[in-house]
A and B are shown apart, each in its own frame.
Chain A
Amino acid sequence: MKKEKTEELNVKWVDGLLSPEEEAELATLMEETPELEAELFQSRRVTQAVREGVSGSVEPPYGDFFNSQLMRKVDLEIASKTPAKRAERWWQSLRWAWAPAGALALVLAFFAGQRIGKPAVSGAGVAGLDKSAPAAIADLPSIYFTSDQLNADVISDADGEVSAIVVTGLDDLKDDLDLSTASLGSDLKGLPVSYLRSKARNFQ
């Protein structure tokens, strides 16, 4: 018989856990080894002595202190885990808002783009024609001529702060005209009165 099987039979016999088949096997073994029976009984006595002589439960000294110490360690363990959990919960609690927040950001970006990309009021609009700058048109000067043949175009910048007035219908200036010495004569007729006065002051 194999050594392992013999050991198993021995152990199980001592514990009273042999099956009928195993008992038969052990009986055969006992016949072959007469001293085995005495050995088994001795082993059972020792086992019984251990069961009686050694207590399976011994309260640790200062049982209450044992518990309080342990629970303090447990509390520390819980506390050490808590911050991480809180952070996780805080982060998780915001997950529901990710989609609406993203949509809101898209809408804001769209409107911001609309405002930034809006074309500025033309810097060279013609008075009366540039409908995209109504405020600037309101500030344009009104120009009156005594002659029906004269016409003026007012060109204004976007803010209406700088304007250029283009007058058409005037007679061409003569090539020999000396503006530094010229007197106000018929050559300048037809110009606005305010312009003429201004010119007169410059020449004085």
Chain B
Amino acid sequence: MAPAGASPGADAGEQEVPDCKLIEACKNGDTQAFEVLVTRHRGKVYAMIQNMIKNEADAWDLSQEVFLKVWKALPKFEARAKFSTWLYRITHNVVYDWLRKRKIESNGELDDGLLNPADIAVGAKTAPSAVDRPDKALENRELGDRINAALATLNAEHRETILLREVQGFDYKEIAKVMDCSLGTVMSRLYYARKKLQTLLSDEKGEN
């Protein structure tokens, strides 16, 4: 078993152990294997949640909640299912539970302030991790900011569909499984989300 707790990507040995092997070890109570699994997937889960709720502290806590639920539910995980789809399904549930609670706490109205584009930290967590030339990096950061601002105006379902498709690279069927909806609904959400983004980014371009 690869050593646990190593920083992501630092240990090439971790990558050699496939998820299915780690999951089997986890099912037998191997917490070290679970930590390897967490280290491998925490970045994607955190990014997904952060892009959904636009709040670093809550995204951190919700990511913890996701992985704790994963640990609890691992004995029921069937090997024929794709782990990443299952993981994002849990992430989806945790995020929507949180959004529902926020909605209730704000007297039934969705807390739009939460998704206010102006509140999004400039170039923070959604900036590309690769190091570019300074001018290119600035361009990318500006692009990232604009896109994040546009994404924040979408409703949760449209935003999640776009993130799963364009950012996480899920196919339509996987998106349907994660979001527990039909293929047609996925298509429709993608179509309207893209159209809205198109409008928002075109408008901004026109303004600039």
Binding site for B on A (CB under 8 A): 4, 7-8, 10-11, 14-15, 39, 42-43, 46-47, 49-61, 63-64, 66-71, 73-75, 77-78
Interface residues of B in 74-133 (CB under 8 A from A): 125-129
Per the bound structure, the CA–CA distance linking A38 and B140 in Å amounts to: 25
Contact B143 A4 (CB under 8 A): no
Smallest Cβ distance from A80 to chain B, in angstroms? 11
Instruction: Say whether, besides A42-B202, A54-B144, A67-B38, A75 and B163 are in contact (CB < 8 Å).
Output: no
Leading 8 A-B pairs by shortest Cβ distance? A57-B43, A7-B191, A58-B47, A53-B147, A60-B46, A53-B144, A50-B166, A58-B125
Contact B44 A56 (CB under 8 A): yes
Contact A46 B198 (CB under 8 A): yes
Q: Which residues of B contact A4 (CB under 8 A)?
A: 184, 187-188
Size of the chain B interface, CB-CB below 8 angstroms:
56
**Is B21's beta carbon under 8 Å from chain A?**
no
**Subset of 10 A-B contacts with CB under 8 Å:** A11-B187, A50-B166, A51-B166, A53-B143, A54-B163, A55-B129, A58-B50, A60-B46, A60-B63, A70-B67
Besides the contacts A46-B197, A53-B147, A60-B46, what 20 more A-B pairs have beta carbons closer than 8 Å? Answer: A7-B191, A8-B184, A11-B190, A11-B194, A43-B195, A46-B194, A50-B166, A52-B140, A53-B143, A54-B147, A55-B129, A56-B169, A58-B47, A58-B125, A60-B60, A61-B60, A63-B7, A66-B42, A66-B63, A77-B68
Q: Which residues of B contact A64 (CB under 8 A)?
A: 5, 7
Instruction: Say whether, besides A7-B187, A49-B201, A55 and B38 are in contact (CB < 8 Å).
Output: no
User: B13-45 toward A: CB 8 Å interface, digit per residue (1/0)?
Assistant: 000000000000000010100110011001110
**Is B155's beta carbon under 8 Å from chain A?**
no
Which single residue of chain B is at the shortest CB-CB distance from A6?
A: B191
Per the bound structure, the CA–CA distance linking A54 and B149 in Å amounts to: 11
Tell me the interface secondary structure of chain B in the complex.
Answer: helix
Contact A59 B43 (CB under 8 A): yes
Instruction: Say whether, besides A42-B202, A61-B60, A56 and B168 are in contact (CB < 8 Å).
Output: yes
Which single residue of chain A is at the shortest CB-CB distance from B200?
A: A46
**Is B176's beta carbon under 8 Å from chain A?**
no
**Is B178's beta carbon under 8 Å from chain A?**
no
Which single residue of chain B is at the shortest CB-CB distance from A7?
A: B191
Q: Which residues of B contact A52 (CB under 8 A)?
A: 128, 140, 143
Instruction: Say whether, besides A55-B128, A77-B72, A46 and B59 are in contact (CB < 8 Å).
Output: no
Contact A49 B5 (CB under 8 A): no
Per the bound structure, the CA–CA distance linking A50 and B167 in Å amounts to: 7
Which single residue of chain B is at the shortest CB-CB distance from A62?
A: B60
Contact A58 B147 (CB under 8 A): no
Q: Which residues of B contact A78 (CB under 8 A)?
A: 29, 31
Contact A67 B198 (CB under 8 A): no
Per the bound structure, the CA–CA distance linking A73 and B148 in Å amounts to: 33
Instruction: Say whether, besides A60-B60, A63-B7, A66-B60, A49 and B147 are in contact (CB < 8 Å).
Output: yes
Q: Which residues of A contact B143 (CB under 8 A)?
A: 49, 52-53
Q: Which residues of A contact B128 (CB under 8 A)?
A: 52-53, 55
Contact B194 A47 (CB under 8 A): yes
